[in-house]
Structure 1
Amino acid sequence: MVYDVDKIKASGTAMPYLPAPLDMPTAVPNKPSPTTTEKKSHMSNEQEEEEFIKNNYVARTLLNEPELPPMTWSNWYTQINWPQATLLCLEPLVALYGLFTTSFMWQTIVFTIIWYFLTGFGITAGYHRLFAHRSYEARLPLRYFLLILGAGSVQGSAQWWSRGHRAHHRYTDTDLDPYSAHKGMFYSHIGWLLFKPRRKPGVADISDLTNDKSVQWQHRNYLSLAFFLSFVFPTLVCGLGWGDYRGGYFFAGVLRLVFVHHSTFCVNSLAHYLGDAPFDDRRTPRDHFVTALVTLGEGYHNFHHEFPSDYRNALKWFQYDPTKCLIAFFKLIRLAHNLKEFPQNEIKKGRYSMARKALDQFGRTITWPKTNAELPIISFEEYQRLSKQEDGRVLVLIAGFIHDVSNFIDSHPGGRALIKNHVGKDATVAFYGGTHDHNTAAHNMLAMMRVAACKYGGEVEHIKKRLGHVQTPTPIFA
């Protein structure tokens, strides 16, 4: 990949992904033929909609593959995914029973926490970043290790999980997204697992996984691996280790599984509701520290959806992303390689576009001065004539614009006299440092007092050059 960490460092440039230009003359873009333009302009709304559907996979699929009938009180029991619903609903009940009936042993508590993190990393570092997004490459021992841990989290095989997750990224927030946030927080968190889907998720390519022997091994043996690693293994470790079979089952097995499930489910739910969108706000993914804290570092989800093949979720050193640190550790011990990072230049573009969008929104709350096109244009002589009229106006010419300062003259920090001395004259030099070098606020405030533009309003440029004055451009041009 062009954004491999090692390749970027070895290239000696920040943008090694840019191709060499073709040694060919630049083509002049062809103007659309009148017939084509005329044809488009004469298309009816129905024809335009048909054209859109024909060329849009999501719209075409939604039209040709209607969803199942809605769930009602009469058919709800046929719409439940009973195996998954039974497991997910019984888990917390069994865990609660164990909490109230089983004594605590510190060794079991420590092992439960360790086993929680290990099986959680099987999802985040394994299923998610390695198999679903291929954000790094792993040696065969590490691949099997992560597949085994992933099975211990009981979230389906890596092939099934990755297929759904790739569809989620490809069709985010549409009806082809298997756990779309637009269907509600409950649905995106767990509802999509409890109930049969209303329609098939969108097409996703998993040919790399179907050709991966390690993934296929786990896929064939998933049920036995999941049962053994979720319940039998922790029970045996705690029982044979320090005689706490009961605690091993209820705490390291069932209670741990409840936390692993809802921790990783938060990536589909909480990460699409809580936080901000520093890279793109057109879709629901959000960045937030709390989500990162409960998902082993998967909470910087807006970044992840914009740059899904990056092995990191958190960019800054203080952001919580233990999965990123674990992958870096795997690289250090030579179990992982080809860690992928999107170029910083492209990441900055995302931040810039969102910052600019926020500034544009803020700017729309501000009243701006009138532009040249909105002002009358008068001669210097006409300006002088108007300034002598006894109509209460106090007109001053500065930088080619005529300003009515009658409502400000009494509040002028330098006093009325300084302004009165420049009425009917060009006060550009005085305003730009001849008398006082005004600050940005003064420039902005003055611009709001524009009432006309002076035709050929640069009469004093030769005087400013003679005085050696370097003009600071007026901050507001709009």
Structure 2
Amino acid sequence: MTPNARDEGHIKDEACELLIAPQASPIKYEASYINIAMFAYFHVASVYGIYLAITEAKWATILLTIILYGAATLGTTAGAHRLWAHRTYKATLPLQILLMLLQCFACQYSIFHWARDHRLHHKFSDTDGDPHNATRGFFFSHIGWLLVKKHPEAKKRMRMLDVSDLKANKVVMFQKKYSTPFIGTICFILPTLFAMYFWNETFASAWHLTILRVLLSLHATFLVNSAAHAFGNKPYDKNITPSQNISVSLATLGEGYHNYHHVFPWDYRAAELGNNALNFTTLFIDFFAWLGWAYDLKAVGNEVIAKRVERTGDGTNLWGWGDKDMPKEHEEIAKVLCKGH
């Protein structure tokens, strides 16, 4: 590759021209005033929602808010992300419908738009082809990218994506076709009316706690794009920005093992140790696999993981054994225990 080609931030690939990172050249942002107004309202209304939760909201409304936060998160992580964006497993029609309904509670556009943008993020990660390019800073990758129009390069690359599987999915396309009234009703109207009808909650508390729940869910998802691209270890590939971030995993039910996920995006667990309390999404998928509703679960073999860790990892190991900071006496204790079996 010639120096000029590198300066332009492009390399040639057999399939198409790919951007290389970092690619955060100065640009003039074009504001999205509708999104700015929406997020401004969400934040102001959420502050009032916190006040109402402390002063007058019923416990049933607070509990409903927590339950729907979890439901929205699973609809995004197990549905839009691991099922439809990455196709890490397959789901029967009942499970697809359930996940689609849960994703509506998140208010993160339709599954079609979510999966399309996420595929774009992985294919052109941390370049101008990435909708939330982390090389443009924490604020941009967290929420700023939604306050401005998409970068021209991202629009260009989007047209190259293969989304034929999404277009062929009747559940996904039904939600896309009726996205505004359908998602709006499920996400905002039904929870508000439910609280008002069943335990006589006031409209103010029911509505503002609904807004608070949506905003918290949005920010939790945004942390995967921002915090998990800025803070944490990189046991699998030290050459990329995605990192392992436990705090993000807690907020998103398992999506914070981001260094692993970007190295092995087809693994349905999105983490090396999928079955643990910090990855509830994997437990959710495993439960439906037990029921027979989820099948063809894809996972990476331990030998493949170990070789990748040795080749490109940063020498850390969040899982314990093999960590470079592991005390020698602990290794000896473990060896003694192993001999005893």
Shared fold (TM-score, shorter chain, > 0.5)? yes
Displacement after TM superposition at 1:266 (Å) = 0.7
Tell me the equivalent position of 1:84: 35
**Map 1:259-274 → 2, pairs under 5 A:** 259-274=216-231
Amino acid at match of 2:18: V
Cα separation, partners in 2 of 1:44 and 1:166, compared to 1, 3 Å:
closer
CA deviation map 1:356-386 (0-9, x unaligned): x659xxxxxxxxxxxxxxxxxxxxxxxxxxx
Are residues 1:250 and 2:208 paired? yes
CA deviation map 1:178-218 (0-9, x unaligned): 11111101000000001112324223211100111111000
Displacement after TM superposition at 1:273 (Å) = 1.0
Cα separation, partners in 2 of 1:280 and 1:69, compared to 1, 3 Å:
closer
Gaps spanning 5+ residues in structure 1: where?
A: 1-42, 72-78, 360-478
Out of 46, 51, 68, which is 1:95 matched to?
A: 46
Amino acid at match of 1:89: A
Cα separation, partners in 2 of 1:332 and 1:94, compared to 1, 3 Å:
same
Instruction: Give the structure with the higher percent helix.
Output: 2
Query: Contact conserved, 1:153 with 1:230, CA < 8 A, in 2?
Result: yes
Cα separation, partners in 2 of 1:59 and 1:107, compared to 1, 3 Å:
closer
Are residues 1:145 and 2:98 paired? yes
Query: Contact conserved, 2:128 with 2:153, CA < 8 A, in 1?
Result: no
Are residues 1:332 and 2:283 paired? no
Q: Identity of paired residues, percent?
A: 36
Amino acid at match of 1:239: M
Amino acid at match of 2:51: F
Q: Judge which range, 175-184 or 84-93, deviates more.
A: 84-93
What is the root-mean-square deviation in Å for CA atoms of aligned residues?
A: 2.6
- SS of residue in 1 equivalent to 2:18: helix
CA deviation map 1:276-313 (0-9, x unaligned): 00000111000021111112210000110111011112
Cα separation, partners in 2 of 1:352 and 1:44, compared to 1, 3 Å:
closer
**Map 1:364-443 → 2, pairs under 5 A:** none
- SS of residue in 1 equivalent to 2:152: coil
Tell me the equivalent position of 2:134: 181
Query: Contact conserved, 1:82 with 1:194, CA < 8 A, in 2?
Result: yes
CA deviation map 1:96-131 (0-9, x unaligned): 223335612111111110011001111111100010
Query: Contact conserved, 1:136 with 1:336, CA < 8 A, in 2?
Result: yes
Displacement after TM superposition at 1:267 (Å) = 0.9
Query: Contact conserved, 2:57 with 2:201, CA < 8 A, in 1?
Result: no
Tell me the equivalent position of 1:307: 264
Tell me the equivalent position of 1:216: 173
Tell me the equivalent position of 2:120: 167
Query: Contact conserved, 2:110 with 2:179, CA < 8 A, in 1?
Result: yes
Query: Contact conserved, 1:289 with 1:319, CA < 8 A, in 2?
Result: no
Query: Contact conserved, 1:148 with 1:225, CA < 8 A, in 2?
Result: no
Tell me the equivalent position of 1:285: 242
Query: Contact conserved, 2:12 with 2:18, CA < 8 A, in 1?
Result: no
Amino acid at match of 2:91: A
- SS of residue in 1 equivalent to 2:56: coil
Query: Contact conserved, 2:131 with 2:151, CA < 8 A, in 1?
Result: no
Q: Aligned equivalents of 1:96 and 1:358: distance in 2?
A: 42
Cα separation, partners in 2 of 1:337 and 1:49, compared to 1, 3 Å:
same
Cα separation, partners in 2 of 1:344 and 1:245, compared to 1, 3 Å:
same
Tell me the equivalent position of 1:441: none
Instruction: Give the TM-score of the pair, scaled to structure 2.
Output: 0.82
CA deviation map 1:370-424 (0-9, x unaligned): xxxxxxxxxxxxxxxxxxxxxxxxxxxxxxxxxxxxxxxxxxxxxxxxxxxxxxx
Displacement after TM superposition at 1:338 (Å) = 1.0
Out of 341, 350, 359, which is 2:308 matched to?
A: 350
Structure number, greater radius of gyration: 1
Cα separation, partners in 2 of 1:104 and 1:349, compared to 1, 3 Å:
same
Q: Judge which range, 292-301 or 197-206, deviates more.
A: 197-206
Cα separation, partners in 2 of 1:53 and 1:310, compared to 1, 3 Å:
closer
Amino acid at match of 1:192: W
Tell me the equivalent position of 1:463: none
Tell me the equivalent position of 1:198: 151
- SS of residue in 2 equivalent to 1:241: helix
Are residues 1:113 and 2:70 paired? no
Query: Contact conserved, 2:249 with 2:256, CA < 8 A, in 1?
Result: yes
Q: Aligned equivalents of 1:59 and 1:327: distance in 2?
A: 34
Cα separation, partners in 2 of 1:68 and 1:158, compared to 1, 3 Å:
farther
Cα separation, partners in 2 of 1:224 and 1:281, compared to 1, 3 Å:
same
Amino acid at match of 2:78: A
Q: Aligned equivalents of 1:92 and 1:169: distance in 2?
A: 29
Displacement after TM superposition at 1:54 (Å) = 5.3
Cα separation, partners in 2 of 1:208 and 1:318, compared to 1, 3 Å:
closer
Q: Aligned equivalents of 1:111 and 1:53: distance in 2?
A: 50
CA deviation map 1:59-83 (0-9, x unaligned): 59xx9xxx99624xxxxxxx22122
Query: Contact conserved, 2:129 with 2:151, CA < 8 A, in 1?
Result: no
Aligned length: 303
Query: Contact conserved, 1:152 with 1:225, CA < 8 A, in 2?
Result: no
Displacement after TM superposition at 1:47 (Å) = 9.0
Q: Aligned equivalents of 1:47 and 1:248: distance in 2?
A: 56
Instruction: Give the TM-score of the pair, scaled to structure 1.
Output: 0.59
